[in-house]
Amino acid sequence: MLIRGRLLIDPTRSPELGWLRIESARIAEIGTGDPPRDQPAQTLGGRDCIISPAFTDAHIHLPQIDSAGCDGLPLLPWLESVIFPAEIWWGRGHALSMARTAARRMLREGTFNFAGYLTSHAEINREAVAYLRDKTPLRFIVGRVAMDRNAPDELTAEDRARASSRPVPSPAMASLGSNNNHRISANPRFAVSCTDELLAEIGWWHKEHPEAIIQTHLAESQQECALVSELFPRDPHYTAVYDRANLLTPTTLLAHCVHLSDDEWRLIAQRRSIAVHCPAANIFLTSGLFDYHAALRHDIRLALGSDVAAGADIAMPRVARGYIETAKVRRMTVDPDSPIPTPADAWNRITRENADLLGWPDTGRIETGAAADLLVLRVPETWLDEHIVGRLIYNWSSRLIESRIIAGQAVDPAKL
């Protein structure tokens, strides 16, 4: 296969006209200008097309795929009245159809890789993971949610019983994610839903499986932080609760990180854990404005996530826009020195950097030898200038995507 267009190899520079030769699912050759005469039979793209790496979402809840837009509540009441019922619904036999909807929507918006959450039901989640692995081309890290308190019985029973399921990936579930493109993580929901014992059990498990990924939420809303200090009165702060349980590791994804002290930022930096900034969700639930300046000051490893359904939008370019806008609002309000990410920085994060942080350094980039995971974007001719990346972010629509190429194959999300 040959793909022609303006190659978004480095989003800080105007993309130049060129071509990619795809062979055995990889980018075999990159050329500038017009393609060679002996072209392969299948050619995609054209002179008005932008060729971009596909997107990676570092935080999404598949069971919440139809819950976006239920507005008016802050985090904790929203979980209770909108999200827990949706997760119960997933567990009552709807997991496969919801997983399919989520996969279709991600692919439609150009997201080919994600790290996400399922629910706390072991058995049905095994089926959902098998579906994602066998019937979709997505790369993923997913985990069964571990939770044993402060939620309906139907969601906490399995972890309270510690019988039919373990808080950590069971061998049956772990075997579903046996290669690097499909991995099973441990997902303690957050400190509010987990007893000390449950967190400790996951921490001990991680000591035996240091390569495994842990996903959790940290300091999303102030009400949540206050409740955590009531539930864990002996810990000096929220981040220490996870650290005491051995849950702050270089393979830990900490979603939100909105309300953190300097001590907490330092601890996260020291442990090399990854903060996942979910800008749309933070605004939707009025949780707060992520402190990008602090993350930079502390040299935090930073990923971006949609956090569907607290984030109403699954499209990563819109998440990138929220990332820029949150920093702008902070500069206009609380921090006149707040740096503002450029569109190129934001594009890099939703492509290459998110992929690197999730352990997939062979995708999210246009490089010889990288996986041919690409988007062919058809844009108006007038966009083809030095502002192209900002134009893509601020005018994003899935209609811009002409073709989705995953591992060298054109994929149609409607056919999943």
Total site size for Zn ion, rule CB under 5 A:
2
Nearer to Zn ion among residue 57 and residue 373 (C-beta) = 57
Strand pairing of 401-406 and 409-410? antiparallel
Tokens of 56: 């990676």
Binding piece for Zn ion, criterion CB under 5 A, among 10-18, 50-58, 251-259, 288-296:
251-259
Binding piece for Zn ion, criterion CB under 5 A, among 106-114, 199-207, 250-258, 262-270:
250-258
Binding piece for Zn ion, criterion CB under 5 A, among 145-153, 207-215, 255-263, 386-394:
255-263
Of 353, 327, 357, which is closest to residue 341 (Cα–Cα)?
327
Nearer to Zn ion among residue 52 and residue 287 (C-beta) = 287
Shortest CB 255 distance to Zn ion, Å: 5
Nearer to Zn ion among residue 307 and residue 313 (C-beta) = 307
- The residues, ordered by sequence, that sit 6+ positions from 268 with a Cβ below 8 Å of its Cβ are 239, 248, 254, 257, 260, 275, 298, 300
Site for Zn ion in 71-110 (CB under 5 A): none
Nearer to Zn ion among residue 48 and residue 80 (C-beta) = 80
Q: Which residue is listed with tokens 């058809």? A: 378
Which regions of 161-316 does DSSP assign to beta strands (E)?
182-184, 187-188, 214-218, 252-256, 274-277, 301-304
Q: From residue 255, how far is each of 27, 214, 278, 310 by CA, in Å?
A: 32, 11, 7, 12
Binding piece for Zn ion, criterion CB under 5 A, among 124-132, 174-182, 248-256, 259-267:
248-256
Which regions of 34-131 does DSSP assign to beta strands (E)?
43-53, 55-61, 111-117
- The residues, ordered by sequence, that sit 6+ positions from 237 with a Cβ below 8 Å of its Cβ are 229, 261, 263, 264
The binding track of 297-336 with respect to Zn ion, each residue x by CB under 5 A or -, is ----------x-----------------------------
Nearer to Zn ion among residue 148 and residue 307 (C-beta) = 307
The answer to the question of residue 224 lying near Zn ion (CB under 5 A) is: no
Q: Quick check: helix, strand or coil at residue 229?
A: helix
Tokens of 340: 């503002």
Residues that bind Zn ion (CB under 5 A): 255, 307
